[in-house]
Chains A and B, each alone.
Chain A
Amino acid sequence: MIFFYPIELLMKFLLEHFFSLTGSYGISLILTSLTINTVMIPIFWYAEKLQQRERDIQAAMRPKIQEYKSVFKGYELHLYIQNLYKHHGYHPVYALRSLLGLFIQLPFFVATYNFLSHYGAVRGVPFLFIDDLGKPDMLIPLMNYHINLLPFVMTGFNLLASFVYGKMITRAEQINIYIIALFFLVLLYASPSGLLLYWTCNNIFSLFKSMVFAWQLEQRQKKQNNGA
């Protein structure tokens, strides 16, 4: 799609630039991931802030919503919740504000995927213990089959990041995230190892990001508790 083309061009430029510097597509993929993620930090940070604001207001309203649900029904319940929203200056539509970040990130996701799945230069290129960056790694031999290792490594980091990130959200949201992490494992299992290398780097980056967010949140809560 034409919409993602500029970003694909940027990726191509970065990857080829790093290749000309390092002579290795594997290292170039890692550096590209690192660069793009670094550039995206402010967007991630802003998106996270918006989402945290939404979570805070939801958390503030939750006890009352639960209380009302336990005693009111139907129309009455609806009216009481409507009033609670009004009181908190909230409307369910505002939840969409927290999506801004996602809408900014989405083109990057799609463009990267498009670009890397059709990038011929990595075909037949080995990197460390990987024979061919253009094919699934097949690193674990098991009887007559070869099991791919990288999807598990990627999922491992994804789960770890989910675990760290999970401290900031509700249990229901946590379960969703774990399910999504496992869902990716199945979906990406047979992808080329170059792609998985890039994603694994993304997920490691994401792990650090989550750790920083979790740390920030902890500090904020500590500050609030001290202030209270």
Chain B
Amino acid sequence: MYYIIGIFLIYFLMLPDGAYAYLDPGSGSMLISALVALVTILIFMAKNFIYDRIKITGKKSNIPDLKREYNVVVYSEGGQYWNVFLPVLSELDARGVPSVYFTSREDDPGLQHEFKHIEKQYIGEGNNAFIVLNRLRANFVLMTTPGLGVLQIKRSKWVKHYSHITHSTSTCATYKAYSLDYFDSVLVGGSADREILRELEAKRKSQKKQIEIIGCAYLDILRSKLKNGQYDYELFSSKRPTILISPTWGEHGLLNRYGKQILSLLTGAGDFNIIVRPHPQSFMSEKKLMDDLVANYPDSDNLKWDREKDPLKAMYHADLMISDFSGIIYDFLFLFERPVLTFKAQFEKRGREAMDLSDDSADIKLLDRIGRTLQESDIPELISIIKSSLTDQTSLPGVIREAQEALAQFPGEAGKRAADFIESVIKKQN
């Protein structure tokens, strides 16, 4: 409506006397398009202007030397990705490749780690970090942050190569739209991400990236933790199959939708030990629900709430996992090779890469075969479903091999393979 009012106002301003009468529908429509375009342009430019101003108002402490030419820069948004970078940095350090580790969190464990050839620096977060990253001079920049050239982190013209390393066993179909389009290379876990990225490139007619399958770096860290850690103790007094309930958070999360139903059923059956490990975010975003569930189903002989940072303990003791759309599903499968029952949560594709893909990604499709995918109507039969999943695991090893090929190849080699790739790219630059 405002457009129409605006259009008439501008008619009066633009045209002398009643000359507008000559406008036939074609010209009228043209004039309307023009005015709409004009208003759109003005709004668009005003937004650009305002947002650009916001960009440079950040605090400027912690800014590293931006005139310096770095060799390898590894950027982390925060400590949660340390396990992704540690194997790569350790390998680069061992090979004596000059590198720096920039992080946006002062409490990043990486800042305390001892390296010989790797410098570490906290560069601030938000706008401060963007200022640094957007003006960087380096041969190779590696990060887990998606959205290069789309969101706030832009390609610096002095960086020769941008590389993204995936940080989860799920595929990049879950990433937001155009997350990886402007990277020169992507280090992925398995063939599924490669297929997804090639499909997106073909559809968008964008430049072909280098895609290197290196495996899953943080899974390698979990593997070595598992090997060196002490998990071999009794968690429950009586020996029964242990079910780990490990959902994601939010309105589509398993605990939110069927928490009471499932917990009543499992605790009532008395056939199982149960570990409930909610997503850490649940205790912040869904505190009321958590308080309610903990009060109704408190710790007991056969039920434990697990809030430890390290997920390995709970996983180690579980014989079967019940989850929804949580990234932990494949971690459990690859590390322990035990079945997972999945309540398929509604996956919101809008705004994500999955929207532009012709089919569901491998991580979604495989859920049906690494265990059963369940619906609300299956809940009354849950006990018998669990029992049959625990006894019949004949097809599981084959499915795990397939899933590993698709999502996380080369166990234990991610750091080495990433370093090989980085060195090969830099070598070609010289």
Contacts and interface: CB of A to CB of B under 8 A. Distances in A.
Interface of A: 1, 44, 47-48, 51, 54-55, 64, 67-68, 70-72, 75-76, 78-80, 82-83, 87, 92-93, 95-96, 98-99, 101-102, 105-106, 108-110, 112-114, 117, 158, 161-162, 165-166, 169, 173, 176-177, 179-181, 183-184, 187-188, 191, 199, 202-203, 206, 209-210, 213
Contacts of A110: 15-16, 19
Interface stretch (B83-91, B96-104, B348-356, B374-382): B348-356
B348 A180 contact: no
A79 B151 contact: yes
B28 A180 contact: yes
Given A54-B33, A83-B178, A87-B178, A210 B26 contact: yes
Contacts of A161: 24-25
B29 A173 contact: yes
Main secondary structure of the interface of B (DSSP, over half): helix
Nearest to A183: B8
8 contacts: A70-B351, A83-B150, A96-B34, A99-B37, A113-B21, A161-B25, A165-B26, A187-B21
B158 interface: no
B34 A98 contact: yes
Contact of A99 (B24, B34, B348): B34
Nearest 6 interchain pairs by C-beta:
A95-B37, A206-B24, A109-B22, A71-B351, A165-B25, A113-B19
A188 B18 contact: yes
B313 to A, nearest CB: 36
Interface in B7-39: 7-8, 15-34, 36-38
A109 B19 contact: yes
Contacts of B51: 75, 78
B204 interface: yes
Interface residues of B, number: 45
A184 B44 contact: no
B41 A95 contact: yes
Contacts of B178: 80, 83, 87
A113 B15 CA distance: 11
A76 B430 CA distance: 38
Contact of A79 (B25, B32, B150, B206): B150
Contact of B27 (A79, A83, A102): A102
B4 interface: yes
Given A92-B44, A95-B37, A162 B25 contact: yes
Contact of A181 (B15, B25, B44, B177): B25
Nearest to B17: A113
B11 to A, nearest CB: 9
Given A180-B28, A187-B18, 7 more contacts: A71-B348, A98-B33, A112-B22, A114-B17, A176-B3, A206-B25, A206-B26
Contacts of A79: 150-152
A70 B350 contact: yes
B29 A165 contact: yes
Contact of B41 (A48, A78, A93, A117): A93
Interface string B192-213: 0000000000001010000000
A8 to B, nearest CB: 12
Given A78-B51, A102-B30, A173-B29, A92 B24 contact: no
Contacts of A80: 150, 177-178, 351
Interface string B29-69: 11111101110110010011001000000000000000000
Contacts of A114: 16-17, 19
A18 B204 CA distance: 58
Nearest to A93: B41
Contacts of B149: 83
Given A176-B4, A179-B4, A183-B8, A67 B22 contact: no
